[in-house]
A and B are shown apart, each in its own frame.
Chain A
């Protein structure tokens, strides 16, 4: 059974960097049939896909246009996990952040991390 365990701070100051990690058990971040995404949810923006990383003989990253200039998603094969970094955050980035597995659709979700951007 595949499980995703998220970790990271729940409070980030404006203009700083939001960093979250998602540890994978029961699958591999290097799987050639999976993709690893970050998705967030807020009352104002609903569910919003932020981006994904996946391996198909080489690593690929795809990012949502809304955050493309500020986001980095990195795989860590040594720890079988992947991470999210979102730079220059504002209160608009306050949301519940989920990591997720899915190539065509999301079939496994992390538990969610509530991140508040506030001074």
Chain B
């Protein structure tokens, strides 16, 4: 069981806006940045959002991130079929001195 908690699944129709939550605690999300990764089947994860709300170049502005206290969320607007993937949050945990990943959320575009 992951220390960072995500819903196992989320869904939406094309064009909709969906949000994926990530809940942690003081030593991780509460005291450090949150990052989000997208993983397509059979490939390595790819960073979507870093430092809570920053997008790497090349990542669509349909993806956005936010953080409040010990929780964070990833929002995807204008949902497209190619957004179907697994999404993971991650944060450094100061008490464990290590990286933590959420359990992942499988996004389905209906």
On A, residues with C-beta under 8 Å from B are: 37, 39, 46-49, 51, 62-65, 98, 104-107, 109-112
Contact = CB atoms under 8 A, between A and B. Distances in A.
A75 to B, nearest CB: 19
A39 B39 CA distance: 14
Q: Is the interface of B mostly helix, strand, loop or mixed?
A: strand
A63 B102 CA distance: 18
Interface stretch (B14-22, B23-31, B45-53, B68-76): B45-53
19 contacts: A46-B88, A46-B103, A47-B88, A47-B90, A48-B101, A49-B99, A49-B100, A62-B97, A62-B98, A63-B98, A64-B98, A104-B33, A104-B35, A104-B50, A105-B33, A105-B35, A105-B47, A106-B37, A106-B45
B110 interface: no
Contacts of B46: 109
Contacts of A47: 45, 88, 90, 101, 104
A112 B50 CA distance: 22
